A = this chain, B = another copy of it.
């Protein structure tokens, strides 16, 4: 099931960018959770194109329908089927792209793998697939908030070479949403916006880095040895379009420290075992240790640019491609709710797995 993610709390997404609809089936959701289309819609609107002048002007209402698994406003424990119709399909804009492989897109690899693909808007490889992830993530975030006072927040820390200063506390949602780039450091955000506008004018694009921080996790989530919490988070993040890297805690910079500098000393604080520092990023031996979970995800610059590029067509001929139409000079701000969604899905799944083994039977 390549299109399914999770073990106990699972999501299965389906749909192509310009097909009739995209959707997701959430299986394993606990019963009795209040759930309305409106609260899912809020997050879809965060992900939606056309929210500001720095993202693609593609306009889609992305109206969510709940088709199953909810009765009288509460989940029933059966599969929750969520659907969003595609309304702004403009196949004409994509005619040239059917013939020519867009550089650093998935056109060629899908064609080579399957021998047949829906080329309209990238088909299955389009970021519209993430609508289902965000919708399911709303449920996961709600579970975390209700059941454990767990709060998680993703935010931009870098666009191109513009990075905000490191922070070690959870920003408020309002801080993140204060600017369209979703960077909680206002001065940096302003510079990021400026840069994005500049590359847009040049028909070019930039990437960036998203950090995600989770507060309030219990100790014990994550499984030895393959399903470590950070391993499943890494997979979740690298399963997102345009991602090129993942790091937890000290990350790649951790290699630059000595053990005596990197180790997180244990200490008792308020009656709990805590660490004095958090270079581990909230996980030790693959298991959450009760500190803030902190990880970062690198996104490459958007592959679609409004410049002439060398490429190859479906007949194996060298050619050139000049993309026209809608263009997102930096997708990273829109990826913020997607990173949050995926993180929440991993955490709920692991919470259920931990409980199953360690709390079902007591000896």
Contact with B along A1-16 (1 / 0, CB 8 A): 1111100101011111
Given A67-B20, A76-B117: A301 in contact with B146 (beta carbons within 8 A): no
Interface-facing stretch out of A40-48, A54-62, A183-191, A284-292? A284-292
- Residue pair A309, B263 in contact (C-beta under 8 Å): yes
Q: Which residues of B contact A275 (CB under 8 A)?
A: 103
Chain A window 348-359, contacts with chain B (Cβ cutoff 8 Å), 1 for yes, 0 for no: 000111111111
Interface residues of A in 261-278 (CB under 8 A from B): 261-268, 271, 273, 275-276
Closest B residue by C-beta to A264: B104
- Among B105, B205, B234, point to the contact of A238 (Cβ < 8 A): B234
Copies in the complex: 4
Establish whether residues B69 and A116, one from each chain, have CB atoms under 8 Å apart when the complex forms: no
Q: A289, B22: Cβ atoms under 8 Å?
A: no
Please encode chain A, from 205 to 245, with 1 for each CB lying within 8 Å of some chain B CB and 0 for all others.
Answer: 11111000000000110111111101111111111010111
Interface 0/1 of A121-145, CB less than 8 Å to B: 0011100010000000000000100
Is A174 interfacial (CB-CB < 8 Å)?
Answer: no
Chain B residues, Cβ within 8 Å of A94: none
Q: Are A8 and B357 in contact (CB under 8 A)?
A: yes
With beta carbons under 8 angstroms apart, the residue of B161, B251, B273, B285 that contacts A125 is B285
> Given contacts A204-B259, A235-B234, A259-B301, is CB(A266)–CB(B103) below 8 Å?
yes
Cβ-based interface call for A65 (8 A): yes
The one of B114, B302, B311, B353 that contacts A266, using a Cβ cutoff of 8 Å: B311
Neighbouring B residues of A352 by C-beta, 8 Å: 356-357, 360-361
